[in-house]
């Protein structure tokens, strides 16, 4: 029983750490949707992603077979990570361009809200599957108890579901944090592509700088907020 609980807690912690990527991705994906539609997209997208992960856990032997090389020494897993990483980089650079240059949303998203909603849900599901590959493979390597893995996946998704809304809205409402989140996506995309080419990058090298950058940005945000509240002038750089 103690081993069961320890393994469960360890897997939940692993899923939550990897869930940071999900929160950032979801925040950016739903940022183009109307405010009233964002939570719905999060719930539907994450629910479908949860079901897909549980299917992957149940078919773990099939998931492990994805590591077998098929072309140029690369496996299906490698190709999925390569494609997912490339897409994340493209998406992040595109969103940074839209945000910095103050480009308006595409007319198609405004004119067809259902299509925008379906697209957002689909992106959440597909990109979660990319992140889920390593997560499920790592979990299966730690224990062969599928109930433990499934319980950890469900518990982490409950936390993720409640955290995605507040964190996502904060990122959307604070442009500097949105740029920071998009920069994280570029980093994550590069790491996924490196892993696809069998270059392992220790997760601490990713999450520690991301956490430090977020902490510094929070301090700056807090400083500007306090100055604004006290009526002090906020000094900003002027464009040449």
- Domain definitions of the chain by residue range: 2-230
Residue 4: how many other CB atoms lie within 10 Å: 13
Q: Give residue 184's pLDDT.
A: 85
Quick check: 42 pLDDT over 50?
Answer: yes
Beta bridge partner(s), residue 74: 71
Quick check: 104 pLDDT over 80?
Answer: no
Q: Which helix (H) or strand (E) holds 3?
A: helix 2-30
Average pLDDT over residues 137-141: 73
Average pLDDT over residues 132-141: 74
- Cα-Cα-Cα-Cα dihedral of 105, 106, 111, 117, to 10°? -70
Q: Where are the beta strands (DSSP E) in 39-181?
A: 69-71, 74-75
Find, among 5, 8, 44, the residue nearest to 149 by Cα: 8
Distance in angstroms (rounded) separating the CA atoms of residues 190 and 88:
9
DSSP annotation of 237:
P
- Radius of gyration for the alpha carbons in the chain, expressed in angstroms and rounded: 19
Q: Give residue 240's pLDDT.
A: 46
Q: Are 165 and 43 in contact (CB under 8 A)?
A: no
Better-scored residue on pLDDT, 88 or 145: 88
Distance in angstroms (rounded) separating the CA atoms of residues 220 and 207:
20
Q: Report the DSSP pairing between strands 74-75 and 69-71.
A: antiparallel
Phi-psi region of 145 (alpha: psi -120 to 50; beta: other; left: phi over 0): beta
Distance in angstroms (rounded) separating the CA atoms of residues 234 and 179:
20
Quick check: 115 pLDDT over 70?
Answer: yes
Q: What angle do CA 222, 223, 225 make, to 5 degrees?
A: 65
Q: What is the mean pLDDT of the chain?
A: 79
User: How distant, in Å, are the alpha carbons of 57, 98, 104, 108 from that of 101?
Assistant: 43, 5, 9, 19
Q: Which two tokens stand for residue 40?
A: 């719905």
């Amino acid at each position: 029983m103690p081993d069961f609980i320890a393994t469960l807690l360890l897997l939940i912690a692993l899923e939550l750490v990897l869930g940071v990527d999900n929160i950032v991705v979801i925040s950016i994906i739903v940022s183009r949707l109307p405010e009233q539609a964002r939570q719905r997209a999060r719930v539907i997208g994450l629910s479908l992603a949860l079901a897909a992960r549980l299917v992957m856990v149940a078919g773990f032997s099939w998931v492990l077979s994805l590591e077998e090389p098929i072309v140029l020494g690369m496996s299906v897993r490698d190709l999925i990570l390569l494609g997912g990483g490339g897409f994340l980089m493209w998406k992040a650079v595109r969103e940074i361009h839209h945000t910095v240059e103050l480009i308006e949303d595409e007319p198609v998203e405004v004119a067809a809200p259902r299509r925008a909603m379906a697209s957002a849900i689909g992106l959440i599901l597909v990109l979660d599957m990319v992140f889920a590959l390593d997560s499920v493979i790592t979990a299966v390597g730690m224990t062969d108890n599928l109930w433990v893995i499934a319980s950890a996946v469900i518990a982490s998704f409950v936390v993720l579901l409640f955290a995605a809304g507040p964190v996502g809205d904060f990122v959307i409402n604070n442009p500097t944090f949105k740029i920071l989140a998009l920069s994280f996506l570029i980093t994550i995309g590069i790491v996924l592509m490196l892993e696809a080419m069998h270059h392992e990058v220790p997760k601490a090298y990713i999450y520690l700088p991301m956490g430090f950058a977020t902490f510094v940005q929070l301090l700056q945000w807090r400083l500007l907020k306090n100055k604004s509240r006290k009526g002090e002038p906020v000094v900003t750089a002027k464009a040449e």
